[in-house]
Amino acid sequence: MKTVVSMGVHILDILGRHVSEIPPGQNIALLDEIRITAAGTAAGTSVDMAKLGCKVIAVGAVGDDEMGNILLGIMNRYGIDTSHMKRKKGTQTSGTMLPIRPNGERPGLHVMGTNAIFSFEDVPQDLVRSADFVHVGGFSLMPKFDGEDTVKTLKLAREGKAITTMDILGIKQDKMAEKILPAMPYLDYFMPNLEEAQMITGLSDLDELCDYFLEAGAKNVVLKMGERGSLIKNQAGASFESSCI
């Protein structure tokens, strides 16, 4: 069984549906459903990979709080190894409240929490070197880890045999390209969505968007385009689109 290390953003999501408006004052709106899920582009990926039968090891940070207990408990129930998750005292577990609108839109109310203090010091280096796959999920929402720490981690993965993947969370910030491009030479698959890629590059043409990251060193770019599916392009110039059905 292949070992997947899924590293980065871990969030406890509280989802309510359907929310048309926030009640005024202290009034109450009745919802159809409220759910709590393990989310974020590391924790969510861990759950998906565990469902597919992979051996998944989570690497990240949660608080020494009840939210952290719940998040780890959810992941453990899926069979995910959370022994390398760091418990941070004095900082709460990252969380998001998502009032889901009837049309499916998901505005988020987010606390960065422990994702903001996750760093290379929290990375189990021997584990990263020995993994079959290393996924970094949530670049741009981990201010201490984004940039140099990400590159150091991906270099460790390359010292071993790991296939490396990375996605990002589209939070607009200064010098995005300057922070993210140094990671490209160490990535087998870079997987931004269309809006995130445009945010980083300022480009709009799909092929030019992919080429921007390929020329920086990524082996493959997977450009996620929502209902349009994905465009996948590699350094040899081969590309194909997958459609959402």
Domain ranges of the chain: 3-187, 195-245
pTM over 0.85: yes
Residues 6+ apart with CB under 8 A from 169: 9, 41, 138, 139, 140, 141, 196
| Range 195-245 classified under CATH 3.40.1620 | yes
Q: Enumerate helices (H) and strands (E) in the chain, giving the number of each.
A: 7, 14
Return the structure tokens found at 5.
């290390």
**Whole-angstrom Cα distance, residue 95 to residue 10?**
8
**Whole-angstrom Cα distance, residue 26 to residue 35?**
22
Place of tokens 């409220």: 34
Judge whether 178 and 200 are in contact, CB under 8 Å: no
Judge whether 48 and 133 are in contact, CB under 8 Å: no
**pLDDT 10s per residue in the chain (245 long)?**
889 999 999 999 999 999 999 999 999 999 999 999 999 999 999 999 999 999 999 999 999 999 999 999 999 999 999 999 999 999 999 999 999 999 999 999 999 999 999 999 999 999 999 999 999 999 989 999 999 999 999 999 999 989 999 999 877 777 889 999 999 999 999 999 999 999 999 999 999 999 999 999 999 999 999 888 899 999 887 776 765 54
Q: Classify domain 3-187 at the CATH class level.
A: alpha beta
Helix/strand/coil for 203: coil
